[in-house]
Copies of this chain bind each other. A is one copy, B any other.
Amino acid sequence: MTAPDLPADAGPVAIICGGGTFPFTVADALTRSGRGAVLFALRGWADPERVQHYPHHWAHVAQLGRFLRLARREGCRDVIFIGTLVRPSFRQLINFDLATLRVLPRAIRHFYGGDNHLLTGMARMLEEHGFRLLGAHEVAPEILVQEGALGQVVPTARDRDDIAHALDVLHAIGPLDIGQGVVVANRHVIAVEAAEGTDQMLERVAELRRNGRFRAPLGTGVLVKAPKPGQDHRFDLPSIGPYTIDGIAQAGLAGLAVAAGGVIVAEPQIVVQKADKAKAFVFGFPETAGGSA
Please indicate the chain B residues that have their CB under 8 angstroms from the CB of A197 in the complex. 213
Q: Which of these binds chain B: A23-31, A54-62, A165-173?
A: A165-173
Least Cβ–Cβ distance between A44 and chain B, in angstroms: 10
Within 8 Å by CB of A172, from B165, B172, B208, lies B172
Please indicate the chain B residues that have their CB under 8 angstroms from the CB of A169 in the complex. 173, 176, 178
A204 within 8 A of B: yes
Known: A86-B213, A112-B188. A195 touches B172 (CB 8 A): no
Least Cβ–Cβ distance between A13 and chain B, in angstroms: 29
Number of identical monomers bound together in the oligomeric complex: 2
Within 8 Å by CB of A113, from B90, B188, B196, B204, lies B188
Please indicate the chain B residues that have their CB under 8 angstroms from the CB of A88 in the complex. 215
Contacting pair B89 A215 (CB below 8 A): yes
Contacting pair A172 B168 (CB below 8 A): no
Please indicate the chain B residues that have their CB under 8 angstroms from the CB of A130 in the complex. none
A32 within 8 A of B: no
Within 8 Å by CB of A89, from B179, B188, B200, B212, lies B212
Q: Closest B-chain residue to A168, C-beta based?
A: B176
Please indicate the chain B residues that have their CB under 8 angstroms from the CB of A113 in the complex. 187-188
Q: Tell me the bound Cα distance from A172 to B176 in angstroms.
A: 9
Contacting pair B195 A114 (CB below 8 A): no
A72 within 8 A of B: no
A225-259 near B? 1/0 per residue, CB < 8 Å: 00000000000000000000000000000000000
Q: Tell me the bound Cα distance from A196 to B165 in angstroms.
A: 19
Q: Closest B-chain residue to A176, C-beta based?
A: B169
Q: Closest B-chain residue to A91, C-beta based?
A: B215
Known: A169-B173, A173-B172, A176-B172. A213 touches B195 (CB 8 A): yes
Q: Closest B-chain residue to A211, C-beta based?
A: B86
A153 within 8 A of B: no
Please indicate the chain B residues that have their CB under 8 angstroms from the CB of A114 in the complex. 187-189
Known: A113-B187, A187-B114. A192 touches B214 (CB 8 A): no
Please name 15 pairs of A and B residues whose Cβ atoms are closer than 8 Å in the assembled complex, sorted by A.
A86-B213, A88-B215, A89-B215, A112-B187, A114-B187, A114-B188, A114-B189, A177-B188, A189-B194, A189-B195, A190-B194, A192-B192, A192-B193, A196-B213, A204-B204
Using A172-B172, A177-B189, A190-B194 as known contacts, list a sample of 14 further A-B pairs with CB atoms less than 8 Å apart, ordered by residue number in A. A86-B212, A112-B188, A114-B187, A114-B189, A177-B188, A178-B192, A183-B194, A189-B194, A189-B195, A191-B194, A191-B195, A191-B196, A192-B193, A200-B204
The 7 A-B residue pairs with the shortest CB-CB distance in the complex, in nearest-first order: A192-B192, A112-B186, A178-B189, A190-B195, A89-B215, A172-B172, A191-B194
